[in-house]
Amino acid sequence: MKSTLWGLVMIHCVSFMHAQQSILLKLELKNSLTIPRNMESVEIPLKKVRILAGQSFTINDASSKKELPYQWLANGDLLIQSDFRAGEIKKIEFYKSSPQHFEPKVYGRFVPERLGDFAWENEKIAFRMYGKELEKVPEQNGWGMDAWTKRTNKMIINQWYQLNNYHQNNGDGLDFFQVGRTLGAGDVLPFINNNFAYLGNYTSYKIIEEGPLRFTFELTYPQVKIDGYEISALKRISLDAGSQLNKSVIRYDFKGKKTLPVFTGIVHWDGKGQKIIDQDNQLAAYWPENSKNGTVGSAILYPNSNNLIIDKNKHLGSETNVKSNQAVTFYTGAVWDKAGEITSGKNWLHYLQEFSLRLKHPIQITQ
């Protein structure tokens, strides 16, 4: 009897505490797809959450009462992540209170101790781009995006660089993806006279967003003269928690001609394995043969594009002509079968097709 009474008192106290909290805003989020969406990133426009600016608040799932992580974005929008069942309409409530601490699921930094790498990661995978200092070591110099395999939720960049043994599997993963003078796990270069026009590695960086849910940065490539062009570039790359793919937005600033041919893609080295082109979903993927360290599948996906995807110069990708400062947008990334979640080319293609579908049908937000 005493324990039952105590339980009723506790329920009353919790209800009273919630009643005392001030609700600032309520929103409904609808998954219009007939598939579940786990760790779905939802960008809530600033105009819908302007009332929250400058306030300390929490976001709760109205049904489960679970607190949701969030992040203010550089453009003023609010990013949240949540799981959605097929066709689910989720109600969320914004309370005036102090949010709990959520451990960041993304990380990145400039790495001066390794010839100017820029490396970034989430709890699924890690990537890096090569800096200008690496050009002084021609036998090591690479062009495109490198992928580091992981099977741990921990952020590993700092530890791996410190130990300097990331080419060996220490239990959490390793770097064995081959980039060389290619686009690697997904990048872009001018494509002049049917060949890649290498402009050199990046010379400066800027971190735009540092998590806990999204890491975004920019890399600047200085002007280079080539074949009648004067070309410089700015790359903005972002990676969300839970995602195998980065979003890349590239702008070439050039003079000399009206348009510039560029090629975006992933390398396959003419190796054995599955080379996949899915024109309907505007994506290409490569699942190589298994090696002693497992398989790293790579992919590139083009949102809102009708460009033909081709196999060219040992790459899968798309060639197009752009105007100066025209944005080139694509998603690229990789996955490791030994992480245990995506273990075959068929699984990889399924993940990518669902990723494409989710991009086409974002979560609907109503008040």
Instruction: For residue 255, give the CATH number of its domain.
Output: 2.70.98
pLDDT at residue 4 is higher than 80: no
Q: What is the pLDDT of residue 226?
A: 94
337 and 201 within one domain: yes
Residue ending a domain, choose from 66, 100, 134: 100
Token pair of 85 as six digits: 């069942």
Contact 212/71 with Cβ under 8 angstroms? yes
Contact 237/157 with Cβ under 8 angstroms? no
Task: Read off the CATH number of the domain in which 33 is found.
Answer: 2.60.40.1180
Q: What is the pLDDT of residue 172?
A: 94
118 and 45 within one domain: no
**Distance in angstroms (rounded) separating the CA atoms of residues 250 and 51:** 33
Q: What is the pLDDT of residue 157?
A: 97
Please tell me the total count of domains within the chain: 2
| Residue 345 CA: distances (Å) to CA of 87, 206, 286, 288 | 28, 35, 8, 9
Q: What is the pLDDT of residue 181?
A: 94
Q: Rounded mean pLDDT of 274-290? A: 96
pLDDT at residue 5 is higher than 60: no
| Residue 177 CA: distances (Å) to CA of 70, 148, 205, 227, 269 | 33, 7, 24, 32, 12
Q: What is the pLDDT of residue 21?
A: 67
206 and 295 within one domain: yes
Phi, psi of 307 (to 5 degrees): -65, 145
Q: What is the pLDDT of residue 1?
A: 46
pLDDT at residue 45 is higher than 50: yes
Half-sphere exposure of residue 112: CA atoms within 13 angstroms, side-chain side: 2
For the chain, how many residues are written? 367
129 and 220 within one domain: yes
Give the DSSP letter string of 98-127: PPPP---SEEEEEEGGGTTEEEEEESSEEE
Residue 281: domain span? 106-360
User: What pTM was estimated for this model as a whole?
Assistant: 0.93
49 and 194 within one domain: no
Q: Rounded mean pLDDT of 290-295? A: 92
| Residue 94 CA: distances (Å) to CA of 22, 80, 83, 352 | 9, 12, 18, 33
| Residue 240 CA: distances (Å) to CA of 79, 121, 243, 278, 339 | 10, 9, 6, 24, 18
- Domain presence at residue 178: yes
Dump pLDDT digits (tens) for 68-92.
999 999 999 999 999 999 999 999 9
Report angle CA 132, 138, 144 to the nearest 5 degrees.
60
118 and 87 within one domain: no
